[in-house]
């Protein structure tokens, strides 16, 4: 049965109540971003809210790097012309963030919003690119933003675009973005989509949608509404056919050119012109303008490209006499191109894909929409040139749509603020408020610095804690450089076991066998827990989100095995993603060894590896857990400080470790949860993308048949 999602509810806000303060955090907005669908949607919403008296702030997530114009000029324009604050996201150079582009921007966004969380009541994010990821994690985990409502609008996820464009995964960052987008949706307070179509696509592709998920059409840009009669009787004579949209495959550029080929091949002497009204893109590794130029060699009609017009100027152009807009998308959600044409009374033809039919009045769909095929479009264009066309009416009142959006915001100011929902997948009585936590601290006797780690553990304020020290490394006690002596290991809450001759993984497993806790907290000898409440926060968050494994961001500081850790200077920071099994096949996105693990989850996974070379035990065990479907969550807050030892060579990038990190994905008999199978298909897609990219760059044939017979001996 096809799911049907409800529209925005009709609500009435209490009179004289304070209007909520709104922040729209987006990487696209009108002005700094030219002809961008997300930017148009958020600009129209911001204008509607401002007209209704709201305080609106735009947080531009590309910082001081607009794709068009100068940021200082745009800030001034928004202040003077719109009465809004446009704030370019500050991105500090120090500490350096170890992350891909989307993760880094998301982390800077979280840091800024956390500092300004008391300035806003409602914050909007687009799901596309997942830039709200760390902010929404913090809300879900109860770390920040308790009194803020997050509204995430679904415009078009990365993999949906890939599917519609018939494109492959080009880099590891796109795998990360897919995970971040999904978490942004699942962690939202409210999710909106302009179409039923996209929400259904998400549901079918395994996205977790929150209870408050609504269909909410875009607000029509101000000034576009045409005062048209209720009944359309006049047909428009067509002399110019205009491709309206980005010049790319998904928007139907090839389909449109194929249809023009058919028209020009007709013997009928039709007089018309062709215009391409949209932004240039890359097509098959070359400029889309070059592609059009090549295709036009077979045409017998004049053609031109108009790629520099903003949204308002583009609609004014289309309103000119004799022009027909063609939106020939192969896949689309709720394109502003169609919405604007309908609102402005521009004659149009559009494919019947995605959410396009949801924009148009049901009585006009047959006249306006067509199946996406060049022969079908060519026939519809012949009819338009011979008989003219109608303009279309909207499926819903534009005024009602704007009113519902405004009323929704007003109603949110009256809602009783409460903690984010706590996951309750497990039995409620399974764990106590303060479950016993066993700190499993395996350290190498040949290394110094363990005493500082132990001291930071002893200062923790968590009331139900035991510490098990596992002494690993050389069997020769004379080689011990450990800074933990017998006196340092004494105390009612500290127990010590000797595992000389074993590596760290085996030492951690031995500590677990001695542990009595419901939770296990692993820590290594390069680590400090500077905040006295660090373990308390770990436990609270793990219980709140029902995590099997919980990690946190890490701050790195430079030090030496023989040096002091008293004066720390953070030089870089590493946030993680959590349980992303696809990205985890290539990089440790889960977290570090310093993690809180539910004991039964540890036993399910089977513990750490006992192998000799053991610098990536965390990656291997987390990969196993992710494949089994265990819940791995990460905190954006820094709870762990890690010393980068200047006296020791890192083995992290060794070939042995590279092989071991992939072993959970390749070992015979591995356990994979059904829900993870779909995730692993992305690993195959990424591998295909890498191969195709390499083949294209080297000129290697893509077809096996062109590579000659297989060598069998």
Lowest-pLDDT choice from 344-348, 391-395, 690-694? 690-694
Contact 690, 647 (CB under 8 A): no
DSSP code string of 562-606:
TS--SS--EEEEE----S-TTGGGTS--S--S--EEEHHHHHHHT
The domains of the chain are located at 22-215, 240-395, 437-674
| pLDDT, mean of residues 676-684 | 87
- pLDDT tens per residue, range 556-592: 987 654 445 555 677 899 999 999 999 999 999 999 9
Decide: 89 and 116 in contact? Cβ < 8 Å: no
Mapping DSSP onto H, E and C, the string for 336-375 reads: HHHHHHHHHCCCEEEECCCCHHHHECCCCHHHHEECCCHH
pTM: 0.91
For 240-395, the fitting CATH number among 3.50.50.60, 2.10.260.10, 3.40.50.10210, 3.40.50.2000 is 3.40.50.2000
Asked if 240-395 and 437-674 have one fold, the answer is no
Mean pLDDT computed over 477-483 = 54
Q: pLDDT by residue (tens digit) across 481-508?
A: 555 655 555 555 899 998 877 788 889 9
Q: For residue 473, count other CB atoms closer than 10 A to its CB.
A: 22
Structure token digits, residue 353? 């894909």
Please give the pLDDT value at position 667: 87
pLDDT digits (tens, 9 = 90+) for 139-176: 999 999 999 999 999 999 999 999 888 888 889 999 99
Q: What is the pLDDT of residues 191-212, one digit of tens each?
A: 999 999 999 999 999 999 999 9
Say what the pLDDT of residue 496 is: 92
Half-sphere exposure of 32 toward its Cβ, with a 13 Å CA cutoff?
A: 30
Across 447-462, average pLDDT: 90
pLDDT band for 645, please (50, 70, 90 cuts).
low
Q: How confident is the model at residue 478 (pLDDT cuts 50, 70, 90)?
A: low
pLDDT of residue 499: 82
CATH topology of domain 437-674: Spore Coat Polysaccharide Biosynthesis Protein SpsA; Chain A (3.90.550)
Report which secondary-structure segment, H or E, holds 326. strand 323-327
DSSP code of residue 478:
G
- The architecture of the domain spanning 22-215 is 3-Layer(aba) Sandwich (3.40)
Q: Is the pLDDT of residue 704 over 50?
A: no
Q: Does the pLDDT of residue 709 top 50, yes or no?
A: no
- Mention every residue, 6+ apart, whose C-beta is less than 8 A from residue 184: 125, 127, 130, 132, 133, 136, 152
């Amino acid at each position: 049965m096809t799911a049907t999602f409800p529209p925005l509810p009709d609500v009435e806000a209490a009179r004289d109540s304070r209007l909520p303060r709104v922040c729209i955090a987006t990487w696209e907005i009108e002005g700094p971003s030219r002809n961008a669908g997300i930017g148009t949607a958020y600009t129209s919403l911001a204008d509607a809210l401002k007209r209704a008296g709201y305080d609106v702030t735009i947080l531009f997530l590309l910082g001081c790097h607009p794709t068009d114009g100068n940021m200082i000029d745009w800030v001034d324009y928004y202040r003077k012309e719109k009465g809004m604050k446009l704030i370019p996201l500050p991105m500090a150079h120090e500490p350096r963030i170890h992350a891909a582009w989307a993760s880094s921007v998301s982390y800077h966004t979280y840091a800024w919003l956390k500092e300004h969380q008391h300035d806003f009541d409602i914050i909007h994010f687009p799901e596309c690119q997942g830039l709200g990821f760390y902010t929404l994690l913090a809300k879900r985990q109860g770390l920040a933003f308790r009194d803020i409502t997050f509204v995430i609008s679904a415009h078009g996820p990365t993999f949906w675009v890939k599917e519609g464009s018939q494109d492959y995964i080009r880099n590891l960052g796109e795998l990360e973005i897919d995970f971040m987008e999904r978490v942004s949706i699942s962690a939202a307070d409210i999710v909106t989509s302009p179409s039923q179509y996209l929400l259904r696509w998400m549901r079918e592709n395994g996205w977790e949608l929150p209870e408050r998920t609504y269909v909410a059409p875009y607000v029509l840009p101000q000034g576009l509404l045409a005062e048209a009669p209720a009944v359309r009787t006049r047909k428009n004579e067509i002399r110019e056919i205009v491709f309206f949209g980005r010049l790319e495959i998904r928007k139907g550029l090839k389909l449109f050119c194929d249809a023009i080929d058919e028209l020009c091949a007709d013997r009928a002497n039709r007089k018309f012109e062709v215009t391409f009204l949209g932004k240039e893109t890359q097509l098959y590794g070359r400029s889309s303008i070059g592609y059009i130029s090549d295709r036009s060699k077979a045409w017998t009609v004049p053609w031109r490209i108009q790629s520099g017009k903003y949204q308002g100027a583009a609609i004014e152009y289309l309103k000119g006499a004799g022009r027909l807009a063609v939106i020939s998308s192969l896949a689309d959600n709720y394109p502003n191109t169609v919405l604007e044409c309908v609102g402005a009374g521009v004659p149009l033809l559009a494919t019947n894909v995605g959410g396009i039919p949801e924009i148009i009045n049901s009585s006009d769909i047959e006249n306006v929409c067509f199946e996406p095929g060049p022969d079908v479009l060519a026939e519809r264009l012949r009819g338009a040139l011979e008989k003219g066309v109608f303009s279309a009416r909207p499926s819903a009142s534009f005024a009602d749509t704007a009113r519902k959006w405004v009323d929704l915001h007003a109603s949110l100011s009256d809602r009783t603020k409460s903690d984010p929902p706590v996951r309750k997948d497990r039995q409620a009585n399974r764990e106590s408020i303060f479950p016993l936590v066993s700190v499993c601290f395996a350290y190498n006797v040949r290394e110094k610095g363990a005493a500082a780690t132990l001291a930071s553990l002893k200062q923790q304020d968590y009331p139900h804690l035991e510490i098990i020290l596992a002494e690993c490394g050389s069997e020769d006690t004379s080689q011990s450089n450990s800074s933990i002596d017998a006196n340092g290991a004494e105390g009612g809450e500290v127990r010590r076991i000797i595992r000389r001759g074993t590596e760290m993984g085996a030492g951690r497993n031995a500590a677990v066998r001695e542990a009595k806790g419901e939770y296990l907290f692993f820590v290594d000898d390069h680590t400090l827990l500077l905040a006295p409440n660090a373990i308390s926060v770990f436990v609270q968050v793990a219980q709140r989100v029902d995590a099997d494994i919980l990690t946190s961001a890490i701050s790195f500081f430079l030090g030496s095995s023989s040096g002091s850790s008293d004066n720390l200077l953070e030089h870089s920071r590493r946030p993680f993603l959590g349980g992303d099994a696809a990205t985890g096949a290539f990089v440790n996105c889960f977290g570090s060894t310093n993690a809180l693990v539910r004991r039964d989850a540890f036993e399910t996974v089977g513990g750490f590896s006992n192998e000799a070379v053991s610098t990536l035990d965390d990656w291997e065990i987390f990969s196993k857990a992710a494949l089994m479907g265990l819940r791995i969550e990460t905190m954006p807050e820094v709870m762990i400080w890690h010393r980068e030892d200047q006296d020791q060579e890192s083995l992290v990038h060794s070939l042995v470790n590279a092989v071991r990190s992939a072993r959970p994905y390749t070992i015979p008999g591995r356990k994979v949860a059904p829900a993870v199978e779909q995730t692993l298909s992305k690993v195959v897609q990424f591998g295909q993308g890498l191969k195709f990219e390499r083949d294209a760059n080297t000129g290697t044939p893509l077809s096996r048949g062109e590579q000659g017979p297989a060598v069998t001996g």
